[in-house]
Chains A and B, each alone.
Chain A
Amino acid sequence: MNEELIQSLLDALRTVIDPELGHNIVDLGLVYEAHVENGRAAILLTTTVPGCPATDFIRQGVEARAAEVPGIAAVEVTMTWEPPWSPERMTDAAKSELGVAW
């Protein structure tokens, strides 16, 4: 049940994009961790670069989308830049679509 809920959460977060790369944050590897416990979602999130001007908006977008997932009553989003994001974290499909070498 919990795994299904986490999958629903990640699916929902795929509607949130990094505006510069133009791809969803899950397949870009910007979601470092996602847990759900007793209806409370805890999401560890990063951006492609520290200090990214889109940081607040991505965090708010994640909070808004996660809160709409059935079964999730509360959302806590934590930003981190450790370890720093790198293109290796992207899914193969995302790399292929963006023309990123790997």
Chain B
Amino acid sequence: MFSSTISRWTMLHFAAATALFLVAQVAMAAGAAYPVLPLSAPATLAVVHLLTVGWITLLMLGALHQFVPVITAQTGVAGISALVSLIAILAGLAGMEAGFLSLAGQLPLSVILALPLGGTLVLAGVIAGVIPLAKMLWQTRPLPFAARFVAVGLAFLFATIAAGLVMGLAFARPDWISWPEAFSRGLQLHLMAGLLGWFMLTAMGVSYRLLTMFTLAPEERGPLGTAVLGLSAGGLAATWLLSIAAAAGAPVAPALIAATASATVLGVALYFVDMVRLYRARRRNKLELNTGMARAALVAFALGVLLAVWMLVSGNDALVGPLAYLFVFGWLSGLGLSQLYKIVPFLTWLERYGSVLGKQPVPRVQDLVDEERDEPWFILYFGGVAAGTVFGLMGWQHLWRIAIISHLVASLLIARALWIARRGTTSQARPGRPVSGTPAAPPSLLAPNLVSSE
């Protein structure tokens, strides 16, 4: 029997996401995509979607299935719809990958139709996954602070897929949609909605909730938090809508779009100020590895914003690749890996020890991992991304690939640590009373043996 407060399918989301993250890095390290191939190469697009749909979207949806109830302070989690969502997204992603490989000439051209079909399946999967989340958010109005970021992020997720579908259709059926036109207009909207709307805003919201919770910092963010939300989410939504209007031929003054985009940047800048404030006001003096390493992800995010501003001001489009790399691997993946290091042991603890709490000695969540053992892998990961960004900016492609290999190795070792936390045993039970009963069995990765909540 499953506890009403444990998301049954979250761990499966995490496992699939992590596997696809590793595959994408292997492809990049092997030279099968960017930075060896151009950014617009079909093989690069295949890897980009492994990262964005396979890794980050599945990671975020899996985390939201577990943490939207926490963010909204509601009981109940998504049931079978979360599994349906996962299967549909994975199947759709497989179709999209086939479509991109067809564009790359590695599969027959007729397979190109798999691109929009796969995208449609991804959309169906996202709808299945988001419905229970949206329902929970809707029932919690007025939304708590962190949940507002998530709500806007989820809206942008649909905008991302819609813009992507138009482009996929333009690729597959140019007789229906003139693809150069659809591509140039759609790509900007697709990237803005996906990278900034869905990923950035959701990560900001989740970071607010998780980091205040794990560092025991004040949850109330005050006027500064309100400004962050209003400027970043409101500014981005306005920029996106104005960009659509401009693409549709409406007379939109470029200065207006520049103003809303500037508001977004200001909102993000205030987010960094608020994060510094959060860490300074934390009650937990000694940071755990997940909250300590989250700071590196935040620094990567801040550097990425500076780089983006510099790129816009200088008009140097050559910075796009290293910028996207820093944003995806430094900020989003760095934050994701560091928080997985806490969430996976926590969920494992609930599954393995929750039902015997109070009945036999149990370890702490921290006892399921070995921070001293794993800290070097996080340092290697962030160091690799930092070096890769520098090499990318310098145009040193071969060194960049070596940097990618280094964070691939680090990712593998972090994934191994999560596997050990999931499957390993610990003898560090807390003292208090004699052992009674049989030890709890380790949970399965794919079919968790969750315990009774009765």
Contacts and interface: CB of A to CB of B under 8 A. Distances in A.
- A and B: real partners? yes
Interface of A: 14-17, 19-20, 22, 24, 48-58, 60-65, 81, 87, 98-102
Contacts of B71: 51
B428 to A, nearest CB: 10
Contacts of A64: 358-359
Contacts of B72: 51
Contacts of B433: 15
Contacts of A98: 284
Given A57-B350, A57-B453, A17 B70 contact: no
Counting chain A CB atoms within 10 Å of each CB, the highest count among B73, B432, B433 belongs to: B432
Interface string B342-372: 0000110110011101110110111100000
Given A51-B75, A52-B70, A81-B73, A15 B432 contact: yes
A19 B350 contact: yes
A20 B365 contact: yes
26 contacts: A15-B361, A15-B433, A17-B362, A17-B364, A17-B430, A19-B362, A19-B364, A19-B365, A20-B214, A22-B430, A49-B70, A51-B70, A51-B74, A53-B69, A53-B346, A54-B350, A54-B354, A57-B3, A57-B350, A57-B354, A58-B357, A61-B359, A62-B358, A98-B284, A100-B216, A100-B284
A56 to B, nearest CB: 4
B357 to A, nearest CB: 4
B373 interface: no
A77 to B, nearest CB: 11
B66 A53 contact: yes
A11 to B, nearest CB: 10
A53 B358 contact: no
Contacts of A56: 3-5, 354, 453
A101 to B, nearest CB: 5
Contacts of B282: 101
Interface in B276-327: 282-286
B50 interface: no
Contacts of A50: 70, 73
B68 to A, nearest CB: 9
B137 to A, nearest CB: 13
B252 interface: no
B224 interface: no
Given A49-B73, A52-B5, A56-B3, 19 more contacts: A14-B432, A15-B358, A16-B357, A17-B362, A19-B353, A19-B357, A22-B366, A22-B367, A50-B73, A51-B72, A56-B5, A57-B355, A57-B357, A57-B453, A60-B453, A63-B358, A65-B358, A65-B359, A101-B283
Contacts of A99: 284-286
A100 B365 CA distance: 18
B6 interface: yes
A2 B354 CA distance: 31
B5 A55 contact: yes
Contacts of A24: 432
Contacts of A58: 357
Given A19-B346, A98-B284, A53 B357 contact: no
A16 B283 CA distance: 23
A67 to B, nearest CB: 10
B273 interface: no
Contacts of B394: none
A102 B350 contact: no
B216 A53 contact: no
Contact of A101 (B285, B353, B357, B432): B285
A58 B5 CA distance: 12
A95 to B, nearest CB: 8
Contacts of A22: 364-367, 430
Top 5 A-B pairs, shortest CB-CB distance? A61-B358, A22-B364, A15-B432, A50-B73, A57-B354
A65 B364 CA distance: 18
Interface in B73-88: 73-75
Contact of B70 (A14, A15, A53, A65): A53
B241 interface: no
B19 interface: no
Contact of B283 (A52, A62, A102): A102
